[in-house]
Amino acid sequence: MTKGEVPGLDKRRYAGMMMPMMSLRAVAAALGAAVVLSLSCPGEPPPVRPEFRVPKWRSGETSVYHVVRNDSVLYETRVVLRFDEETIGLPLAPRSVPTVVVTTTVGPAEAPTFFFDSVEAVFRRDSRIALRSHRRLATELASIGADATYEPGRVVIRKETVDGIEEVTRETPGWTLDQDMVRTVLRAVPPDPGAEFRISVVNPIGFRVRNVPVQVLGTRLVVTPTDRIVC
């Protein structure tokens, strides 16, 4: 549920979810808590990272969303999660950390025009800290690439278009996520009604960082053949 537009979350209606090797309990838990997002106003406090529970992510799970207009499906968004590991702390203190790789692809359902949007976003599985993202957007008229590298307190964005390459560094106060990580990471929010926190959400192609407040509105009882689950 949205009170304002959040990049990557607007105008997409849940259409289905396929999660290999997952129990009905895991499917219900994946629905997560009901949250509300709204864009912040200048002067609001910096984002504060909340306490999390570990969601029942599964490597290989796939979610499908549809962009709908007048009951017609215009575009399909497919989100695939994959578990991996990444080496950080180079060159002085290298160490391996568990990661979640979120691959999001968007394409026309039946539209005759050419459009393709692909993003690979990587964050740490243990702490939900953003590491990097890589995006390629192609239409009949243009092709755009954007790479974001997340460091403590800042994000370095490299954008490539037909006009050349532009590199920009933006400050990221508090807890920061790439816009294509948000829908996945919010599944880790405990379903405690009234809980509130903030996220710095980065839109690499637009070189934008937005302070987004999040509030848990309530919970829902999901009944499955195996259990009754509050989420």
Which of 15-24, 86-95, 180-189 is modeled with the greatest confidence?
180-189
Q: Does residue 22 carry a pLDDT above 60?
A: no
Residue showing tokens 């968004």 = 77
Are the C-beta atoms of 99 and 159 separated by less than 8 Å? no
How far apart CA 181 and CA 100 sit, in angstroms, is 10
Residue 189, pLDDT > 90, answer no
Over residues 176-205, mean pLDDT: 90
Pairing outcome for strands 176-178 and 196-203: parallel
Q: Which residue has the higher pLDDT, 34 or 193?
A: 193
pLDDT reading at 150 higher than 60: yes
DSSP line for 35-78: EEE----TTPPPP-PPP-------TT-EEEEEEEETTEEEEEEE
Answer yes or no: are the C-beta atoms of 26 and 77 closer than 8 Å. no
CA distance 182 to 50: 14
Domain ranges of the chain: 13-230
Cα(84)–Cα(132) distance, rounded to whole angstroms? 14
pLDDT of 102 > 70? The answer is yes
Confidence of residue 85 (pLDDT cuts 50, 70, 90): very high
Q: Rounded CA gap, 187 and 100, in Å? A: 13
pLDDT at 9 over 80: no
Backbone torsion region of residue 206, taken as left when φ is above 0, otherwise alpha when ψ lies between -120 and 50, otherwise beta: alpha
Across 92-129, b (16+ Cβ under 10 Å) vs e yields eeeeebebbbbbbebeeeeeeeeeebebbbbbebeebb
Total-model pTM: 0.73
What is the residue-averaged pLDDT of the chain? 79
How far apart are alpha carbons 50 and 4 in whole angstroms? 21
Q: Would you say 15 and 190 are in contact if contact means Cβ atoms under 8 Å apart?
A: no
Is a pLDDT exceeding 50 seen at residue 51?
Answer: yes
pLDDT of 104 > 80? The answer is: yes
